Structures are given as structure tokens and as C-alpha cells.
Amino acid sequence: MVPVPSFHIVGAGKVAQTLAALWQQSGRYCLHSVWSRSSASAQQLLGQVAGGQHCADIHTLPEADIVVVGVKDDAIEAVDALLANLPWLSAQTTVLHFSGAHSSHIFRQLAGKGVSLGSLHPVYAFAEVATAIAQLHGHFCAVEGDASALPLLHNLAVAAGLQPFTIAAQDKSRYHAALSVSANYLVTLNAYARSILTNTGLPEAVAAVLVHSLMQQNLNQLADLPPQQALTGPIVRGDAATVAAHLKVLSASEQPLYRVLGMETARLAQTRVGLADTQTMLDLLSSKE
């Protein structure tokens, strides 16, 4: 019988807890040890995964096939230096991290140890571990790394129920910027729209539903249509008077974001409204009068 590959978790955050549980449940990988700066998070992970042990000292991690680094982005380099001192590292060892912003090249110390390096980034908002374990199946996952690591990375993604796609190391930051805009800035935009409704007399609960509902409708449209076709509203209608009325009622602190988003929307709408109307809208939105 072929032994099941073993893996360590180094840094027991929400992503690590979720993936460790799913890998263990798959039966294709076996959790060996967990190290974390927070013993509470390590114990929380071990409480969700049948098997595995807590390792109090990262320097004493025993031999394993895979080392999964689940620490915050700004701690990866420090962990890289610590892991590079493990005496049992070999060409048969794979080390990977979960960061969407960094490529496997951040493992500068480990790169000199002959191990296979990679990154695995599930495209999912990990707000709560139990929910993530239940809902992660079917979501996409970016994999990147050494040619020797890619087959294992794909298999790890599939074992967790994810749909893997490969991305080049040099494209990771641009990839992550796009995801940050689509995920984080959507939340910011929701908050911005709600804040504009603050002094309208609408109950806060009603304002929240109005904004969320309209955003959800547009997200649903974007599932079937390209952005240019899904776009609605005064800018794509060339309705400069309405946009001017918006600017008139927005405060000095509210206007900058409205103007920036409006100008990008005008450029997006240009193929539908024409160059002349687009320029009129851009002139209006860029004017500080």
C-alpha cells in the first residue's frame, strides 16, 4: 500500500484550518503536526481535524512530505528563514503558502535547499471556518510554483474540492490586485452608498437592503453579460444633468470617490454613448466648480 503523504501546518489561520480539515477528510493526505504562534489557534485546528499533533517549537518539526505555511503575508519571510534550518528537507519535500499577493519566490531561504516551492490561493472569502469547510467546494484556486510542485498543488486543490488554475509568479501581484478590488472594494462601495443615504430619513435597515439588493442584481447580470452591456444608470444614458444634480448634493468628502468612479464608468460606457457624450461627462466629473 502506498503511504498517504503527510503535511505540516505552520500558522493555523482560517485558511489553514479549512484546508487541513478538507485534506484530512479526503483521505488523500494526512496531517502530521501543527505549529502556530498562537497555541489556541493550533488547538482549534486540531479540534477540527482527526489526527495530528501540536508542535510547540518550529525547529523540532519532524519530517513530512509537505509543509504548508499559513501565516500572514508579512510573516512568510521570517518563517521561510526558520524552515530553511530544518535538517530533513530534501528534493522530495514541498513547501507552499496560501498568499494571493506573493509568489513562491518569497521563499528565498528555502530556495537554496533543493525543495519544491509553490503557492496555493483559494479564491474565497474566509470569514468563518465552519462555513468555509461547508461551502468551499467548487470555488477556484490559483496555483503557482516550481514545475516539480505544480502536480501536487493541483492535486491538493482538487482534494479540497477546488477548481485549480495555474498563474505565473510574475503575475501574482496583479492577480491579487484584481481580486482585492472585486472583493474588498465592493464592501467599501457598499458602505459608501449606505453612508450617502444616512441623512435621507430612510431607516438604516431599509438603506442596507436597498444598496445590497441593487448590487446583487448587478452582480447577477455580470454573470451573463460583459460589463459594458450590464451597465445601467445616468452615465451610460448620457444624462449629464442627473450626474450634475448628484454632485450638487454630495458633500466635499463624498465627491472625490463619486468623481473617480464616474470617470471610469464614463470610459466604460464610451462604446455605447459615443466619444462626444463621453467627453462631456468626463469634463463634468473632473470639474471642481
Q: List the chain pLDDT tens, one digit each, 289 residues.
A: 668 999 999 999 999 999 999 999 999 999 999 999 888 888 888 888 888 899 999 999 999 999 999 999 999 999 999 999 999 999 999 999 999 999 999 999 999 999 999 999 999 988 899 999 999 999 999 999 999 999 999 999 999 999 999 999 999 999 999 999 998 999 999 999 999 999 899 999 999 999 999 999 999 999 999 999 999 999 999 999 999 999 999 999 999 999 999 999 999 999 999 999 999 999 999 987 6
* Contact of 66 with 8, CB cutoff 8 Å: yes
Mean residue pLDDT of the chain comes to 95
Residue 240 near residue 276 (C-beta atoms within 8 A): no
pLDDT in tens, 9-52: 999 999 999 999 999 999 999 999 999 988 888 888 888 888 88
Write down the pLDDT at residue 221.
96
Separation CA 207–CA 225 (nearest Å) = 27
pTM, full prediction: 0.85
Measure Cα distances from 228 to 80, 127, 216 in Å.
44, 31, 17
pLDDT of residue 1: 63
| pLDDT tens per residue across span 70-84 | 999 999 999 999 999
Pair type for strands 94-97 and 30-35: unpaired
Which CA distances in Å does 183 have to 144, 178, 187, 188, 219?
Answer: 21, 9, 7, 9, 12
Length of the chain: 289
